[in-house]
Each structure stands twice: as C-alpha cells, then as structure tokens.
Amino acid sequence: MQNKTMEAIADAMPQNKEEFIQVKGLGERKFEKYGREIIGLIHGASPDYQNKTSDNHIPQETYEKKVFSISQLLDIVNEVLTPYKVSIRGEITSFKYQRHLYFTVKDPEDESMLNALMWESDLAFCDIQAEEGLEVMLHGYLEVYKPFGKLTFRAQTMELVGEGALKKAYDELKKKLSQEGLFDEERKKDLPQYPLRLGVITSRYGAVIHDLLNNLGKYGYHIQMYDARVEGAQATRELIEAIEYFRDQPIDALLVIRGGGSLESLQAFNSERLIRSIIAYPVPVIAGIGHDKDVPLFSMVADAAFSTPTAVAREINKTWDQAVQRLHQYESSLIHRYAPLLLQARRIIDKAVNHSEHFCSRISSQQHVLHRRMNAIVHQMDMAIKNYAHETINKKKEMNQKFNNQIQLLNNKLEIYLADLKKNDPEHQLKKGYSLALGQDQKVVSSIKQVRWSDLIQLRMSDGSIKTVVQEINPRE
C-alpha cells in the first residue's frame, strides 16, 4: 500500500469491516485480501478494544440478550479468529487450482481434516506444487467463509516438511536450472575491479552484518543495507523485495549474506522465484550464505559465492589490497631507478661549481696583482711629478691623460675577464636558454654520432629536466 493509505489507516484505526472499507484507498477487495489481518494488528495495539462496542462487537454480558443475524455472528467469529497467526502441519489430501489453491490438510495421527485456501499471489513465493500426501507446514489464520459458513485456514505461506521432501525438491530444481545453463560460468559476470558502492541484503539481527563490516578494509566503501529475513516462511518474499529494491540503485555489487545452517533453514535460498530474480541482474551478485553439505541453489547461480561473510569481505578487499601493494612497489622502483641519475647529476653540478670557484679565485688574484702594479705606477708617477714640477702644466696634463687611459684599459680587461667568467658558468648558460643533453648512458651528448633514432635522451635545463625521444638526426652541412 501507499504511504498515504497507511497513514489514513493509522488515523482511522478501523475496528471492523465497515470502518475498514471507508478508509480512502481501501475497499471490499482489499478487505478480503488482508483487511482482517490489519484489523487484528490494530486490535493488538489497542488495550481497551474489548471495551469498545459496535454492531458486530458486543460485550460478553449482552450476548445472551441479543439476537444476531448470521452475518453479524460470523463477523464476530472472524474478528476473534483472524488476529491470531498460527502454524499448522499436515498432509494434503485433496486440492484444486482455480487461480488460487483450494485444498484440504489432514492430521496423519487421527485423520482430522481442515479446509485451506492460499491466494495465487502468496502461492507464487512458495515454489511448491501441491500433491496428494505431501506433508507441509502452513502459516496463516483461521476464518469463516460467510457465503457457506465454512471454516477455512487462510494460508499465507507454505513450506515442505521433512528432509526427504526438501532434498527431492532441491534435486529437481537443481536439475532444471542446470539444463537451462544457469550454473554455467560463462553467463556469470566478473566482479568489479575496485568496488565502492555496496548493496547488502541480510538481517540486521545477529553477528553476520558485523562480521562483514569488521572485515571490510578502510577504502571508503559506501554501504547500503536492506534488512530482510534470511530464514523462515517470509524470507523468500522479503529477499525478493530487497533484490528488486537494489535493481535501480547506484551500486557496484549486491551482497546477499547470512550465517550457516541446515538444508531446511536455507530453504528460502532454494526458491526458484528468488533465484530467477538475479538472472541478468544489472550488477554482479555475491552470495555469502553458509551451508552444510548442500550448497544453496542461489549460491550456485550467483556471480560469486563464498561460505561466510568474512570471506565475502576479503574478496571485496582483494583488488584494493593489491592496488596498495603495487603502489608500494612502484614507489620503491622509482627510488631505485632514479637514485643513480640524481647522484650523477649532483656530481656534475658539484664539479661545475668547483670549476667556477677556481676560475673566480684566479681572476681575483690577477686583480690584486694589477692593483698593486697600479699603486706602484701611481707612486712612480707621483715621484716623477714632484721631481719634475717645473715642467709645464701641459706636460702634466699629458701625463695625467696617459695615466687615465691606462686605468681605462685595465678596467676594460677586468670587465672582459668577468664576462668570460659568466659565460663559462654552466648555470648561467642554462638560464640563457641552453640545455645539457644526456644520452641513455647518462653521458653528455656532444655529437650526433652519440645518439640513434628512437633513443631516449634527457634535456637538463635551468628549472628542471625533460625526457624526449630522438625522431630525426640532421648533420650540419
């Protein structure tokens, strides 16, 4: 039902059929299908219900004073019977299919008989074909069918009883599915390489979900869980609903998990309808269903199957664990591969720096020598000027001019020396746009004869290096 209908039922709290069919979104048909069950739930939620009265519900002390119509009396009986869900066990003695299943069950001990009915929609989830003498367990409630005044057990679920019957049904369905090729590995999808979004179907009760979550690695998984029964009469219906829910969800894989159990406790996972719900599923389906000796057919059809939720978690982690391991290997490989190159480059740079320092030291030494010579010349000229002061001013100016020219000449030479020093500085040359080419043997390439087509060379520049491939070699003409 829609949420609005459920809210309307909660507001009205109908206590009988008349009140039920007045609720918007309901009616006679829905009352016949599950009206009594809903009223039964409401009765169980209302402690004072026994004190309420209506035409069909009369206090005990007035029963003897009132004359009921047959319909009223049967409604009272049904209101008393239907809220109580019961389970019964017996043999099918007769049956007929008229869309729905009408049958009779018998107590094998004293031959007691009870009429039973199962709607087509409920029967579809059972995967059981009625047979004479078939022992079954039914879950439902009793009601009196008013048109005939006949007591009927309204069965909502049906289960086979006995390991022999379960094994026979298991083997027959297994053979059928095998002939269709549903167990073939070729039709199964590969698990995603790096799954992140996981849909999980299991019961929220118990340790199964905790086993899964505790063993999943910390890889940023987005987990969406759907709480569903994984055992019992209602399990098949809830599991199918959960699988259909995830069909349109953005997930990378669907996980269906539960703990171990016997063939009987795992019967829901041998349902043909449940199995066919994962055929051609949009994402890989992983089954983590524990088993004893008979593997559930659901596990055999799933794209991958493991016996425990812990094993499922390890499989989900596998590709992520391998990726982390490969990253560590790549890191070690890079360090091992480029460490010699970096050491060699450092040695080249250190050698160039030492050469530059030595060159600068020589220039500085020559500068000091020139400076001393200049001082000596100046001193000599000063002495000559003092000794020959009587010479004309013009002579003095001439001498001064020669002296200035000599100074300028020396400065020019010094600038030339400094320019040569800058030109020979390797780092200066790199900043001007030049580059240093290193061959595959990490030696400096000074001739086109040292390389061949498709060789990998490294160009070192002022701010880094470039690796390139030789595509053309042109000798200078």
Whether 397 is covered by a domain: the verdict is yes
Q: Are residues 9 and 77 in the same domain?
A: yes
Q: Tell me: do 36 and 122 sit in the same domain.
A: no
- Answer with the one of 51, 81, 111 that is the final residue of a domain: 81
Residue 316 belongs to a domain: no
Q: Is 171 inside any structural domain?
A: no
457, 468 Cβ separation under 8 angstroms: yes
Domain that holds residue 406: 323-429
Q: How confident is the model at residue 239 (pLDDT cuts 50, 70, 90)?
A: very high
Nearest to 354 by CA among 365, 346, 364: 346
Task: Indicate whether 112 belongs to any domain.
Answer: yes
Assigned domain for 275 exists: yes
Does 176 fall in a domain?
A: no
Do the bridges between strand 113-118 and strand 150-160 make them parallel or antiparallel, or are there none, so unpaired?
parallel
Q: Decide: 55 and 37 in contact? Cβ < 8 Å.
A: no
CATH number where 155 lies: 2.40.50.140
**Gap between the Cα atoms of 352 and 341, Å rounded:** 17
Instruction: Give residue 53's pLDDT.
Output: 38
Please report the pLDDT score of residue 197 as a whole number: 94
The distance of Cα 143 from the centroid of its chain, to the nearest Å, equals 48
Q: What is the pLDDT of residue 281?
A: 92
Q: Are residues 139 and 75 in the same domain?
A: no
**Per-residue pLDDT for 27 more than 60?**
yes
Whether residue 293 sits in one domain with residue 196: yes
Report pLDDT digits (tens) over 313-328: 999 999 888 888 888 8
Asked if residues 76 and 36 have their Cβ atoms less than 8 Å apart, the reply is no
For residue 162, pLDDT over 70 is answered with: no
pLDDT digits 0-9 by tens, 412-423: 988 888 877 777
Residues 13-31, mean pLDDT to the nearest whole number: 77
Q: What is the pLDDT of residue 477?
A: 72
- Same domain assignment for residues 441 and 419: no
What pLDDT is stored for residue 43 in this prediction? 66
Q: Which of 280, 257, 234 is nearest to 125 (CA)?
A: 234
Q: Are residue 341 and residue 446 in the same domain, yes or no?
A: no
Tell me, what's the pLDDT at 29?
73
Q: pLDDT tens, 54-113? A: 444 555 555 666 788 888 888 888 888 877 888 888 888 888 888 888 888 888 777 788
269 CA to centre of own chain: 24
Domain limit, last residue, from 28, 46, 81? 81
Q: For the segment 327-364, what is each residue's pLDDT rounded down to a tens digit?
A: 888 888 888 888 787 888 888 898 888 888 888 888 88
Among the ranges given (79-83, 194-198, 258-262), the one the predictor scored with the smallest mean pLDDT:
258-262
CATH number at residue 51: 1.10.150
Residue 174 located in a structural domain = no
As given in the structure block, the two tokens for residue 92 are 């099918």
Same domain, 191 and 303: yes
Report the pLDDT value the prediction gives residue 293, as an integer from 0 to 100.
Answer: 65
Domain boundary among 81, 101, 128: 81
Residues 439 and 423 in one domain: no
Asked if 11 and 70 sit in the same domain, the reply is yes
Confidence band of 50 (pLDDT split at 50, 70, 90): very low
Local confidence band at 51 (pLDDT 50, 70, 90 cut-offs): very low
Q: Which of 464, 472, 471, 470 shows the shortest CA–CA distance to 440? A: 470
192 phi-psi bin (left φ>0, alpha ψ -120 to 50, beta other): beta
Query: Does pLDDT of 253 surpass 90?
Result: yes
Domain count, the chain: 5
Q: What is the pLDDT of residues 224-236, one digit of tens each?
A: 999 988 887 678 8
- 244 falls in which pLDDT band (50, 70, 90)? very high
The per-residue pLDDT for range 377-395, each reduced to its tens digit, is 888 888 877 777 667 777 7
Q: What is the CA radius of gyration of the chain?
A: 48
Indicate if 19 and 114 belong to the same structural domain: no
Residues 74 and 90 reside in one and the same domain: no
Q: What is the largest CA-CA distance in the chain?
A: 166
Residues 190 and 243 in one domain: yes
Q: Which residue did the predictor score with more confidence, 292 or 452?
A: 452
Residue 152: inside a domain: yes
